[in-house]
Each structure stands twice: as structure tokens, then as C-alpha cells.
């Protein structure tokens, strides 16, 4: 299995060929949204503990801040950061310049227009009513345009590559661009043509694959690039990475209906979704084994290599969250955890604990190189890791315990519903304080990168 792996090709003329203007714009705006939407996240966590908070201002009510939190974190922070990182490594893996930096900067500008538009639309209550697809139609159209601009730029770069063989990160990025196009169109346009259960089925296909076929492949592309890079070790197995990629391509899209287990949707479709959900273990475990086998023997680097800390703990969270996923889709487990607070615990481990950790690691690695300087503070970077790690674990673990307990209470109909709400109040308080720690980690991260960018002239002198 441990065949000689493909070394990541080095740039032709280091630090001269790539200007990285697009990557830099995407990363800076992503970090800005990470901070701003982090405040929104704290506000909605606080509303669980103090429901009257900001309660008489329509634009600041829970029902409007929550979609802003979800969309802002998914599209404003995570997807923008992921796109920025692919603009950085795809040209390097191909040994050529990015096809068009001008088109790239225009894409970054358009992306900012979309996110700012989303802030006003969602606070104003212009909500389409679909989870993850809340944005009104004009913004959906702009997202499609931006995505075509992004895809064209990267595909043209890959088509002109110098190295015949494509590294794993290239396939995953190409997969992301192609699948996202269809998944996004299904979730934001095709749903409008249907009603009821049919519409819900399309909506869940989108919701599941927004994570499974957008954030997963691009997140893995990032991890596949930065784990070997930041630990200075070759990837363990090229063949294993192919098994992971092609099984992901086939298996993920089948599982949408597991969001409606026990619900009003055909039983046979639920069963199909369950079977394929369990099969998700194949792509996940092949990826995780490959990552761990790559860093095997390099554990000493974990002591002071902050990007590697984020990457390895992100991999652990990926393993855990993708073990939970198939298990929740079993009917017996689902009857307890579905619709409870367990689910936000699970979702945050995937999007924050895994994919945001990968993106943060990539940003820490890229920032000094793209701006041709050194990181502002390694100590602060280490603090950002531990704040997010401790805050994240507090968040995930309390919500799992609370959610499981809540599910058990719901399944005993002699307990009045309101008692199951009151029982969760301590859980929500711990979640709020854990969220505060995570937010402090975001501040440390954002400040560190911004100080790196702003302070680079002083460094150059």
C-alpha cells in the first residue's frame, strides 16, 4: 500500500510566478466575515439563555439572525476561504500561473456583493424558506454567475497544466466545482418548481450535499495539499486517495432522504438513504487512514506546528462527525437524536471542527507566503488553536449529551414538552460560554492574519 507517493510539485520559480492577488482578496474577506458572523453566532446562542434579548427588534430576532449565521458562516467565511485556498494551490500544483487574476479579483468582488446582499436580505426577512437556500432569487443567480467565473478560471488553469498527472487536490477541487453547480441549482431553483414532499426531497438532497459535495471535497482538497506541505512529508498513498475520491463521487448523492427518517416520505426511499449513509464510511475511512498514515512518524511536529495541529484535529473531528452521520441514519438511533440539540452539535463538528479547521490551517500556511512575509505571532496562533479546540469540544460534547437526553425525554410522552425545554437550559448556557471561547479563538486568528498582512511592510524593511 505504501507505494512511493506523488510528491507535490514545486513552483517553477518560487515566489516569482504566482502573484496570488485573488487568493489574498478571498482570504481577507473570508476572515472579515468569520469575525462579523461570529458575533451573530454569539447573539443567537445568548437568545437561548435570555429569550427576551433584542426581542422587540424584528431584524434582530432569532428567526432572522439564525439564517444569517448559517449562510454567513457557510458562504461568507468557509466557502470564500476554501475558494481563496484553491486559488493559491491549484496554480502551484499545475506549475502554471492562475489563468486570469483579473477574473479572479472580479469573482472576489462579486462574492462580497453577494454576502453583503445576503446580510440585508436575511435581516429584512426576505427568506426563501429553505434551509441553506434562504437567499432570495437575485442573489442565487449572482452565486451561479460567481461560481461559473470561479470554475472557468480554475478549469482553464488545470487544462494548461505542466504536469500530466493530477494530484488528489486537483480532482477534489474539480469535483467540487462540477457537483456544486448541480447541487446548488437543485436546491435553489428546482425546488421552486415543486411542492410538498417532492420539494422537501430536493431540498434535503441539496442540504446534505451542500456539506457532502461542496464543503467535503474542497475541504479534503485543502487537507490533501496542506497536510503533506505543512509537515513536509509525502502523502502515504495515491491509490487510497483515489478510492476515497471515487467512492465519495458515487455514494454521497443518494443520502438526502435520511433527513426525513420516520417522516412523511416513502419508506423505501428512507431505506435507500440509510444504506448509502452507512456506505459513507468507505470514502471517509480511506481518507482518514491516508491522512494519519501520512503524519505517522511526524507526531513530534504537533508540538509547535500550528497548521498541523489544526489539520490533525480537523481529521479527528472528520472521523467522528462522519461516524455519527451513518449512525444517526439508522432508524433506531434516529428515533432518539433526530430534531434534538444533538444535531447542531454534529453539524458544528463537521463545519467548524473539521472544515473550518482545515481552512484555518491553510490560511495560516498561506498568509506568510502569499504576502511574502512572516506570521505576526506563533504564540497567538497557538492560542487561537486551543481556544477553538476547548470551546469546540465544550460545544459539541454538551450538545450531544443534552440532545441525547432531550431525545429520551421526547420519547416518553408522559413528560410535558415544556419540561424538556426547561431541562436543556443548563446545556444552552454551557453552549453559550463554549461559543464565547470559540469566538475568542476567531478573534485571535483574524487579528493574527490581519496583523501579518498589515505588518508586512515593517517586516520587509
Partner 1 sequence: MLGKADQSFSVSIIAALVLFFIGGLLTTVVPPMIDKSWSRPAPGLKPYTAEQLKGRAIYVREGCWYCHTQQTRTLVADTKRSGWRGVDSPVSTPDEFVYDSPHMFGTKRTGPDLSRVGGKYDTQWHRTHFRNPRDLVPGSVMPPFPWIVNNPEEFTALVAYLQTLGRAKDWRPAKDYEK
Report 388-427 residues binding partner 1 (CB under 8 A).
410-413, 417-419, 421-422, 425
CB of 325 to partner 1, least distance (A): 14
Closer CB to partner 1, residue 125 or residue 297?
A: 125
* C-beta of 142 vs 343, nearer to partner 1: 343
Alpha-carbon Rg for the chain in angstroms: 22
Cα 304 from Cα 95, distance rounded (Å): 30
3-state secondary structure of 246: helix
- Between residue 317 and residue 336, which ones bind partner 1 under the rule CB under 8 A? 335
Give the C-alpha separation, 248 to 177, whole Å. 15
Per-residue x/- track, 98-127, partner 1 (CB under 8 A): ---------------------------xxx
Site for partner 1 contains 94 (CB under 8 A): no
Exposure string of 5-28, with b = 16+ CB inside 10 Å and e = fewer, is: bbebeeeeeeeeebebbbbbbbbb
What residues between 229 and 268 interact with partner 1 by CB under 8 A?
239, 242, 246, 249-254, 256-257, 259-260, 262-266
Pick the closer one to partner 1 by CB: 407 or 441.
407
Report in angstroms how near the CB of residue 307 gets to partner 1 at its nearest: 27
> Cell 465544550 sits at which residue?
394
Tell whether residue 182 is a contact of partner 1 (CB under 8 A).
yes
Q: Which grid cell sits at 64?
A: 432572522
Q: Binding to partner 1 by residue 189, rule CB under 8 A?
A: no
Integer Cα distance of 24 and 27 in angstroms: 5
CA neighbor of 398 nearest in space, from 419, 357, 420, 429 = 429
Residues in binding contact with partner 1, number by CB under 8 A? 85
Q: Which of 213, 221, 306, 366 binds partner 1 (CB under 8 A)?
A: 213
What one-character DSSP code corresponds to residue 380? H
CA distances from 106 to 22, 157, 227, 230 (A): 9, 17, 30, 30
Q: CB-wise, 293 or 336, nearer to partner 1?
A: 336
Give the footprint of partner 1 on residues 267-296 (CB under 8 A): 269, 272-273, 276
Compare residues 16 and 165 and give the one whose CB is closer to partner 1. Answer: 165
Is residue 243 packed enough to be buried (19+ CB in 10 Å), middle (13-18) or exposed (0-12)? middle
Considering the rule CB under 8 A, would residue 198 count as an interface residue with partner 1? Answer: yes
By CB under 8 A, residue 56 contacts partner 1: yes
Residue closer to partner 1 by CB (options 45, 311) is: 45
Q: How many residues does the chain have?
A: 461
Between residues 35 and 182, which has the closer beta carbon with respect to partner 1? Answer: 182
Q: Which stretch binds partner 1 (CB under 8 A): 32-40, 162-170, 229-237, 356-364?
A: 162-170
Beta strand extents in 64-168 (DSSP E only):
none
Q: How far is CA 100 from CA 106, 154, 215, in A?
A: 10, 9, 24
Please select the residue that binds partner 1; options are 12, 15, 39, 159, rule is CB under 8 A: 159
Instruction: Report the residue number, 340 or 384, with the smaller CB distance to partner 1.
Output: 340
Determine if 64 is a binding residue for partner 1 (CB under 8 A): yes
Greatest CA span in the chain, whole angstroms? 72
Q: Give the residue, chosen from 106, 343, 380, 450, that forms a contact with partner 1 under the rule CB under 8 A.
A: 343
Amino acid at each position: 500500500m505504501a507505494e512511493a507517493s506523488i510528491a507535490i510539485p514545486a513552483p517553477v520559480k518560487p515566489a516569482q510566478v504566482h502573484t496570488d492577488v485573488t487568493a489574498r482578496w478571498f482570504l481577507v474577506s473570508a476572515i472579515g466575515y468569520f469575525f462579523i458572523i461570529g458575533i451573530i453566532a454569539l447573539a443567537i446562542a445568548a437568545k437561548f439563555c435570555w429569550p427576551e434579548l433584542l426581542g422587540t427588534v424584528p431584524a434582530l430576532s432569532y428567526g432572522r439572525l439564525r439564517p444569517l449565521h448559517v449562510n454567513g458562516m457557510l458562504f461568507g467565511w468557509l466557502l470564500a476561504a476554501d475558494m481563496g485556498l484553491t486559488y493559491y494551490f491549484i496554480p502551484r500544483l499545475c506549475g502554471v500561473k492562475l489563468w486570469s487574476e483579473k477574473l479572479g479579483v472580479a469573482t472576489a468582488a462579486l462574492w462580497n456583493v453577494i454576502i453583503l446582499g445576503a446580510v440585508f436580505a436575511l435581516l429584512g426577512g426576505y427568506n426563501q424558506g429553505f434551509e441553506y437556500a434562504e437567499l432570495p432569487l437575485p442573489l442565487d443567480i449572482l452565486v451561479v454567475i460567481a461560481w461559473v467565473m470561479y470554475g472557468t478560471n480554475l478549469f482553464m488553469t488545470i487544462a494548461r497544466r505542466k504536469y500530466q498527472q493530477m494530484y488528489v487536490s486537483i480532482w477534489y477541487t474539480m469535483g467540487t466545482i462540477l457537483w456544486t453547480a448541480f447541487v446548488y441549482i437543485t436546491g435553489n431553483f428546482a425546488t421552486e418548481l415543486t411542492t410538498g414532499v417532492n420539494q422537501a426531497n430536493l431540498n434535503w438532497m441539496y442540504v446534505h450535499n451542500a456539506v457532502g459535495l461542496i464543503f467535503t471535497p474542497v475541504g479534503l482538497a485543502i487537507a490533501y495539499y496542506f497536510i503533506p506541505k505543512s509537515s513536509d512529508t509525502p502523502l502515504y498513498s495515491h491509490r487510497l486517495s483515489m478510492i476515497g475520491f471515487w467512492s465519495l463521487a458515487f455514494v454521497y448523492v443518494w443520502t438526502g432522504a435520511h433527513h426525513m427518517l420516520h417522516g412523511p416520505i416513502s419508506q423505501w426511499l428512507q431505506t435507500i438513504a440509510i444504506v448509502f449513509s452507512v456506505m459513507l464510511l468507505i470514502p471517509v475511512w480511506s481518507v482518514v487512514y491516508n491522512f494519519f498514515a501520512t503524519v505517522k512518524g511526524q507526531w513530534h511536529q504537533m508540538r509547535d506546528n500550528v497548521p498541523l495541529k489544526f489539520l490533525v484535529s480537523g481529521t479527528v473531528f472528520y472521523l467522528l462527525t462522519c461516524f455519527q452521520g451513518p449512525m444517526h441514519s439508522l432508524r433506531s438511533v434516529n428515533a432518539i437524536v433526530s430534531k434534538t440539540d444533538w444535531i447542531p452539535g454534529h453539524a458544528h463538528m463537521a463545519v467548524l471542527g473539521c472544515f473550518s479547521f482545515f481552512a484555518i490551517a491553510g490560511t495560516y500556511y498561506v498568509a506568510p507566503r502569499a504576502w511574502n512575509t512572516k506570521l505576526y505571532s506563533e504564540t497567538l496562533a497557538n492560542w487561537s488553536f486551543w481556544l477553538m479546540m476547548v470551546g469546540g469540544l465544550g460545544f459539541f460534547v454538551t450538545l450531544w449529551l443534552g440532545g441525547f437526553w432531550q431525545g429520551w425525554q421526547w420519547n416518553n410522552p408522559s413528560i410535558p414538552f415544556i419540561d424538556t425545554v426547561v431541562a436543556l437550559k443548563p446545556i444552552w448556557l454551557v453552549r453559550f460560554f463554549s461559543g464565547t471561547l470559540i469566538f475568542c479563538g476567531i478573534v485571535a486568528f483574524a487579528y493574527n492574519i490581519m496583523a501579518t498582512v498589515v505588518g508586512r511592510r515593517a517586516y520587509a524593511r
